[in-house]
Amino acid sequence: MSSARKTRFLPAAALGLLAALASPARAAAPAERPNLLLIVTDDQGPWDLGSAGNPHLDTPHLDALARDGVSFARYYVAPVCSPTRAGLMTGRYAFRTGLYNTRFGGDSLALGEVTVAELLRQAGYRTGLFGKWHLGRYLGYQPHQRGFDEFLGHYQGHIERYEYADQFVHNGRPVTTRGYVTELVTDAAIAFIDETRRQSPGAPFFGYVAYSAPHSPYQLDTSHAHQPKGDALITKYLRRGLELPQARIYAMIERVDTNVGRLLAHLEVTGLARDTVVVFQSDNGGVSRHWTGNFRGFKAQVYEGGVRSPLFVRWPGRFPAGGLVRAQAAHVDLLPTFCELAGVAPPADRPIDGRSLVPLLRAGQGERHQPFVYHTWNRLAPSPDTNWAISDQRHKLVGASGGGGKAKAAGWQLFDLEQDPGEQHNLAAAQPGRVQALRAEFLRWYGEVTRGVTFAPVPIPVGHADENPVELQPSWARLGGEGVSYVFEAYDWDTIEGWSRPGQFAEWRLNVTRAGRYEVEVDYGCAPAAAGGRLRLSAGGAGVELTTRPTGTPNVFARARAGLLELPAGPLTLRAEVAAPPPTGELMRLNRLRLRHLD
């Protein structure tokens, strides 16, 4: 009898076993050290999902991920992105790492920090990051120097073009790109998975897919070749009654959902789904306003809408599908979670704020985890008195302040999140003891995580052969003199403006790694009537002057060579100042300085 005939008469259970053995997706038992795939979106609110009850938004793949994995009812992130990403990478609240801002040089993860990518790579994982980093842009701070074998993405908080993006970097080298960024990042992640299988068969991988969407600018495809595709998605949501900006956000989220579906499908096709833990979350609260469920607040605020994120974790056969954890958890929990799954010890030489979620994930439920979670965000410097909050498993104390002022005790708000998840009923007057206890715990934590930390832009490394020239951004400068100001319109198009008289200056802290001659270039805009003024640049006892020429308008930036500076090695300050005022108006709009070491 042929083997085919024999197979026909096997019992049904045996036939099922043969089918499972023949299927690539079921070929091997789940790995003891699973692959880890972390997917993070940017500015997606906890309400921006069909699984959250949003009746207007289509997210079928993310809804399926929630259904097939374990969801967390109260998962907290920071109010803005860089602090969350610092916590994800280190298991520590951002203040411990020296990171305190999303711009102005305060978005650099201190070099002494140990990242989860470094820990996993040392344990034999191949590591890759695709998309947004936002933890440092200068040499030593870049992701391929912080534990990632492969990096394709951008350093800063957002990009200006979602199609044909011109702010991307590949392993430290600027590149130009073609296509829509969300799909580009997904393509890179899929290629990384395939290359890991080819290079190191059987080795686990850690993939971090950090989508830029739905962060502003709210763009779909804009080119003549692909715009109809983007327009169709936007039109879909306009027809559902959304205003145009909200329709764009929803369309961007649906585009992310489609690409998450591509990632999950690729895991199935390659047989890796059962060996891969997939984690999905956002980086801070939401920005969309069409439908916000029962949440109060938005990104940058410390109400629930500003600090809550979805968290879905799927490991087929290991974590129960449909599990729901009610215990409060936080972004700092992911590093110890990944370490436990990979069999890696977290760093023992420093406080780790996170606690592994693995027991909750294996059970698919749980009522207690982090006794307290701490929330705060202020633009220029940390403060224990402005825009802060603390939550325990049931209650939350909020010190929100409008306009950046101090939140006075009379304005503190206490909420019972069990009875009042929408934070509408202030119980502070009725429960003063609880208010004082929670405030005391917040101050204890704040004092601990800020003790001994200097919150200032890190010195910019200059002179290294691997990054020459070095670009000095306006946001990293300290300004002085009345009238000179920093103007932000975009990360690569920001300026220092108002230069008109002596005494106005900007200073950058540098760390010169090689002494020698440095060519100085200036990118600036100058009106024709203002040409002829002079900008002086000095450092380490040397100085040069640049006489401005018209560039068309002050918003057209041209590059000019200012001259050579002889710089000693070590820390120093580069100063730009008005040497001679212009005939009229402002001397220039300074967009960039560049220092190139000349061998």
How far is the C-alpha of 404 from the C-alpha of 547, rounded, in Å? Answer: 40
**Residue 24, pLDDT score:** 33
Residue 485 amino acid letter: S
pLDDT (tens digit per residue) in 105-144: 899 999 999 999 999 999 999 999 999 999 999 999 999 9
How far is the C-alpha of 51 from the C-alpha of 66, rounded, in Å? Answer: 7
pLDDT(18) > 60 = no
Domain ranges of the chain: 32-370, 388-450, 460-598
CA torsion through residues 336, 76, 385, 80, sign: positive
Q: H helices of 482-533, where?
A: none
Q: Do domains 32-370 and 388-450 have the same CATH topology?
A: no
Burial group, residue 83, by CB count within 10 angstroms (0-12, 13-18, 19+): buried
Sort strands 323-330 and 70-76 into parallel, antiparallel or unpaired. parallel
Q: Determine what percent of the chain is predicted with pLDDT higher than 70.
A: 94
Q: H helices of 327-453, where?
A: 334-342, 358-363, 432-450
Residue with token string 């327009």: 231
**Residue 32, pLDDT score:** 82
**Residue 25, pLDDT score:** 32
Average pLDDT taken over every residue of the chain: 93
**Residue 22, pLDDT score:** 32
1: pLDDT confidence band, cut at 50, 70 and 90? Answer: very low
331: pLDDT confidence band, cut at 50, 70 and 90? Answer: very high
pLDDT(39) > 60 = yes
How far is the C-alpha of 124 from the C-alpha of 275, rounded, in Å? Answer: 16
pLDDT (tens digit per residue) in 524-577: 999 999 999 999 999 999 999 999 999 999 999 999 999 999 999 999 999 999
Q: Could you say which DSSP state residue 42 is in?
A: S
| Whole-structure pTM value | 0.93
436: pLDDT confidence band, cut at 50, 70 and 90? Answer: very high
Residue 219 amino acid letter: Q
Please say whether the beta carbons of 92 and 333 come within 8 A: no
Closest alpha carbon to 598 in 508, 546, 521: 521
13: pLDDT confidence band, cut at 50, 70 and 90? Answer: very low
Residue 314, beta-bridge partner list = 278
Residue 175, beta-bridge partner list = 168
401: pLDDT confidence band, cut at 50, 70 and 90? Answer: low
∠ CA 456-462-465, rounded to 5°: 140
For the chain, how are helix, strand and coil distributed in percent, rounded to 5? 30, 25, 45
Pick the CATH number of 32-370 from 3.40.720.10, 3.40.50.10800, 3.60.20.10, 1.10.490.10: 3.40.720.10
How far is the C-alpha of 371 from the C-alpha of 393, rounded, in Å? Answer: 6
Mean of pLDDT values over 467-479? 96
Tokens of 223: 């080119």
Mean of pLDDT values over 452-459? 93
Mean of pLDDT values over 280-306? 98
Which of 4-8, 297-301, 406-410, 520-524 is predicted least confidently?
4-8
Exposure on the CB side of residue 345, measured as CA atoms within 13 A: 4
Mean of pLDDT values over 167-183? 96
> Helix or strand or coil: residue 389?
strand
Give the orientation angle of helix 244-269 with respect to helix 227-238, to 10 degrees: 120
Residue with token string 């997606």: 44
Max CA-CA distance within the chain? 101
pLDDT(10) > 90 = no
Mean of pLDDT values over 389-416? 85
Mean of pLDDT values over 403-419? 83
460-598: CATH number: 2.60.120.260
Mean of pLDDT values over 63-81? 98
How far is the C-alpha of 454 from the C-alpha of 96, rounded, in Å? Answer: 10
- Is the domain 388-450 a CATH 3.30.1120.10 member? yes
> Helix or strand or coil: residue 180?
strand
Mark 304-315 as b/e (b = at least 16 C-beta within 10 Å). bbbbbbbbbbbb
